[in-house]
Structures are given as C-alpha cells and as structure tokens.
Amino acid sequence: MASTVFEEISPADFFYRNREIAGFSNPVRALYSALRELVENSLDAAEVIGVLPELYIRFTYVSGPIDGSAIYKIRVEDNGSGVRGDMIPSAFGKVLSGSKFRLKQSRGTFGLGGTMTILYGQITTNTPARVISSIGSDYIHEYELMIDIQRNNPNVLRYKTHVDPEHWHGTIIELSAEGDYTRAAPKILEYLKQTAMVNPYADITFVDPRGRLYVFDKAVKKMPRMPRETKPHPHSVDVETVQRLITVTRCNDLFSFLTTHFLRVGKGIARRLLEEAQLNGETSPKSLTPNTVAHLVNVMKGFTGFLPPDASCLSPLGVELLEAGIKKELNPEFISVVERPPSSYSGHPFIVEVGVAYGGGIPKTGEIILYRFANKIPLLYDETSDVSWKVTHGLVDWRHYKVNLLEDALAVVVHVCSTKIPYKTVGKEFLADRPEVEREILNGVRQAARNLMVYLSRKERVDRDRKRLDVYAKYLPKVARFSTRLSGEEKEPDVGVLLRKVAKSESPESTEA
C-alpha cells in the first residue's frame, strides 16, 4: 500500500502558495494590496513616534502592455520611526517577523503585509526590493534584498550606509511588481481618498504612472490620542496565553501573578478570583499543573466581577477629527458624528464611531453609500459581507428616521477601532458579525440617525412654515383689503406685523393655537 508523503513548508512558502488569501490574487487586486500594505505600514510608523504622517507614493511604468498586466515600480516614502539597520533584513525579508504582535491598536495586524508585497514583487519580476531607512541616527541604511521563500530568510544582495548629519528618520521602499494599473486605478484612488478621510492629520501625495499628481493635504494638525500597549483582559485569555505568562513571569506567587499580568485584576478582584478557583494565592505560578492552569482559565472566563477592558490602548479618531474628514471629502448638507463608549468582545476592547451624512456633496442618491474603516484603514472589498452592511441595509429602518432612500443622498461612515479587529480574512476585507460589535454599530447608527431625523423634521417644518407663510403673504393682504372694504373703513391694517409674527414663530402648532 502506497504511503502518503508528508512534507513541511515554510511560512513564506505557505503565503507564496496561497497569496490570494493575503489579497494578492490577480494583477488588479495585487497592485491595490501592495499600495495599501505599504501605506498602512508608513502611517503606523509615523504615528508610533507621534509625528504627523507625510507620505509620498509614486508608481512608475516599467514595461509591458499598459491596458493589461504590466511591470510597475512602486516607491513609498514616509517620515516614520524607521527600522534599525540590523533589523531591516528580517523585518522586510522574513514572513511572520514584525513589530505588531503586541496588544495595541495598529493598522497592520498579521505581520505579513510589507513582506508579502516584496514577495509578490519578487515572484512576478524576479528583481530585488530596495529598503532605505533610518531611525534618526547618524546613518541611513540601504539594502537590496530578496526573499529565500523555501527557507523564509532574507537574502541581502547589497548593503550600504550613508552618513546623515540631518538625522532624517523614515523608510523608503522601492520595488517592481506586475500589476494592472489601468483597472486598479479606481480602487487605488478611492482607497487614498478614504484614507485621507480617516487620517485628516496626514499629508499623502500620489504620483500615478502617467505622472498625474494627487495631493491629499491634512485638514487638521491635531493627532488623535496615541494607543498604548496593554495587558490581556482575563476574559480574552486562553490556556496558551497563561502558560506563556507563567514561563516569563518573575512573580513568585499566584496573587501577584494575577495582579501584575492581567488588566482589571486589582487586589480585591484577585482575592475573589482565587477564592472562586479554590487556589492558594501563595502558590508559585510555575508549580501549577497543566490541569490547574486550565481550571484557572475556566474560572477566569466565567468570573463576572471584572470591569470591561479600558480603552486607553485604543486610538479612536474622535468626533471632531472624523467630522472634519467627512466634511472635507463629502461636503454634505448635514452631518452627525457619534463616538460610542468603549465596549469589548471576548476581552478585546473596541470603540465604534459612526457618521451619518445627508445631501449636499454626496455623489449618489437612491442607495446608502457605506464607508467602512477599521483602525483608520478603509475597507473596500466584500462590502455586503461586512457587519456594517448588515446593520445599515438590514437592521435599520431608514423610513423611521424620515429618510427616503429612493430620493435622498445618504452616506454612513463606520469606524471600528480595537486591539483585535474581527477580520474574517488575512486580506482585511470585512468584519465578522460579532454580536457585541454589531450591537455597538447599530446603536451608533441609530443615534446618529436620530440626529438626522431631528434635522429633517426641522427642515420639513421650516419648509411647511415657509409654504404657509407664502400662503399668508399671498392672501392676507387680500383678506385685509376685502375686510377693510366690507367694514367701510378707509385704511387697511398693516398685515406685515402679522406676517412677521407668523414667520418668527418656531413651532407651527403654537401659531395655530
């Protein structure tokens, strides 16, 4: 009987074979994904050091059919933190090597994007990527590298350092890749436009292959509060997390282990938790058997005394910035932006921000334009699978809020930020419908929609009043003239006083009383 052959592949090889799950499925999509991964890394790199991001992106045509799959050079420059010289090869030439495996909000989540882009460029053009970076020291480091896919290792072809008395910091990545720019352009421009909408404190410049310049200047100079690294909430941990903490902890007793390594576990809570688990607080954590660890985790998960995770590790945009961003890009007649209070799912904190915009510069009528954002990045693909689509197209009855979907121009903006965005794909296309997240989005949309309803009601009333005033203005003089004549008087009364009175009155009911 033939036996089956088992073999092991490297993570780079896995993502090389399955690149479509990381968003590199075809020349159109790949170009979009390449741009996006590099832009998101750059934005993160600037924010992590509290600098207003300045990005310069250039696509240059190299060879091949312009109306199909051609080779383009992609260059992205940022003013971010930069990467330490000795870390550059593995940071960019090794899949699953990254700086974002900490518990903190960031755009990148999988530690894949930058390296996948370089890998994609390499397999389509067989040319190395160039990485130039400095953390603001005396030297700028310049590498030319390729990825040894089967071994998941960087392969450095050239390395240079440049003395830099200016102490520039940032990263420049340059690579060639196959792509179909002509067909990718609409998504790429939409992506940049929406990125500008939720990052109104960033300058983004894009030069397309035909040399056209797109400039998205910052609308504000204020950055949102920076996210901080946080500890795991007891509701979010599993046996593996606790085992790892036990391995690295310096705590000698369970009581201090609990209060040191977990969020929302103060001394009182720790005592109650130990009591419920029937464990002795003086036990050394390293002496716990696997079964006891599993038991402790179960007790933690079922324990109802913890406060929900706090949101200091999150960086929402805030009402002011989101409103500025939406106004700048859509210029609507009315806008209501709502920031929901922090919430959590399975111990992961999240905040939902919702904007509902109406009329004015919103381009389409007859359908809801949905803008979806997660940790300040726009999501453009697979809209109908997203939880926000479910909310805006299924759960909210817009007629209730006086919106006529057939005639009115309506845009809904949903921004979810979290230490753990519930993406359903590595390509970061859409959010799963976790009940807690769905509920917060629903509440946010309803809250903003109520403000819209108030506005529309007032508008309706003003319209009605104006119409009534028109009627009064037309007939009151006639009535006055007629009454004057009928009563034999000479001088007509001044109807202007009456009209002004009606016009002034805000509530139509009171004028009728």
Positions in 109-128 near a second copy (CB under 8 A): 109-111, 122-127
Instruction: Pick the stretch among 13-21, 203-211, 276-284, 313-321 that binds a second copy (CB under 8 A).
Output: 13-21
Q: Does 49 bind a second copy (CB under 8 A)?
A: yes
Residue 372 near a second copy by CB under 8 A:
no
Q: Can residue 332 be called a binding residue for a second copy (CB under 8 A)?
A: no
Choosing from 16, 191, 350, 373, the residue that interacts with a second copy (CB under 8 A) is: 16
Write the CA distances from 57 to 60, 172, 323, 434, integer angstroms: 10, 10, 26, 35
Rounded to a whole number of angstroms, the minimum distance from the CB of residue 149 to a second copy is 6
The span from the CA of 43 to the CA of 55, in Å, is 8
- CB of 125 or CB of 205, closer to a second copy: 125
Does 48 bind a second copy (CB under 8 A)? Our answer is yes
CB of 430 to a second copy, least distance (A): 9
Q: Which is nearer to a second copy, 264 or 390 (CB)?
A: 390
For residues 231 and 18, give the distance between their C-alpha atoms in angstroms, rounded to a whole number.
33
Nearer to a second copy, 432 or 469 (CB): 432
Residue 16, judged by CB atoms within 10 A of its CB (0-12, 13-18, 19+), counts as buried
Annotate each residue in 277-316 with x if it binds a second copy (CB under 8 A) or - if it does not, as one string.
Answer: -------------xx-xx--x-------------------
Closest CB 399 distance from a second copy, rounded Å: 24
Complex with a second copy: residue 8 or 512, whichever CB lies closer = 8
124: closest CA among 191, 187, 74, 55?
Answer: 74
* From candidates 73, 169, 187, 261, binder to a second copy by CB under 8 A: 169
Q: Which residues are 147's β-sheet partners? A: 154
Pairing of strands 343-345, 334-339: unpaired
Q: Would you count residue 151 as binding a second copy (CB under 8 A)?
A: no
CA distances from 272 to 299, 303, 307, 382 (A): 11, 9, 14, 46
Q: How far is the CB of 512 from a second copy (least distance, A)?
A: 47
Q: In the window 412-451, what residues touch a second copy (CB under 8 A)?
A: 422-427, 429, 432, 434
Nearer residue to a second copy within complex by CB, 290 or 363: 290
Whether 421 contacts 387, CB under 8 Å = no
Q: Is 329 exposed, middle or buried (0-12, 13-18, 19+ CB in 10 A)?
A: buried
With CB under 8 A as the rule, give the number of residues binding a second copy.
71
91 contacts a second copy (rule: CB under 8 A): yes
CA-to-CA distance for 405 and 199, rounded, in angstroms? 29
Give the separation between CA 214 and CA 116, rounded to whole angstroms.
Answer: 26
Report 71-90 residues binding a second copy (CB under 8 A). 81-84, 87, 90
C-beta of 433 vs 465, nearer to a second copy: 433
Give the Cα-Cα-Cα angle 492, 493, 497 (nearest 5 degrees): 145
Say if residues 493 and 484 touch (Cβ distance below 8 Å). yes
Which of 261/446 has CB closer to a second copy?
A: 261
Phi, psi of 382, rounded to the nearest 5 degrees: 55, 40
**Taking CB under 8 A as the rule, does residue 385 contact a second copy?**
yes
Residue 165 found at the interface with a second copy (CB under 8 A): no
Instruction: Kindly tell me which residue out of 166, 238, 276, 506 binds a second copy, with binding defined by CB under 8 A.
Output: 238
CA distance 270 to 296: 12
Q: What are the CB-based long-range contacts (under 8 Å, 24+) for 86-92?
A: 88/131, 88/133, 88/141, 88/143, 88/145, 89/143, 89/145, 89/154, 89/156, 90/154, 92/118, 92/129, 92/131, 92/143, 92/145, 92/154, 92/173
Q: Which one, 315 or 336, has the nearer CB to a second copy?
A: 315
What backbone torsions phi and psi does residue 107 show, to the nearest 5 degrees? Answer: -70, -50
Please identify, using beta-carbon distances, which residue of 28 and 357 lies nearer to a second copy: 28
Q: Which of 43, 135, 204, 314 binds a second copy (CB under 8 A)?
A: 135
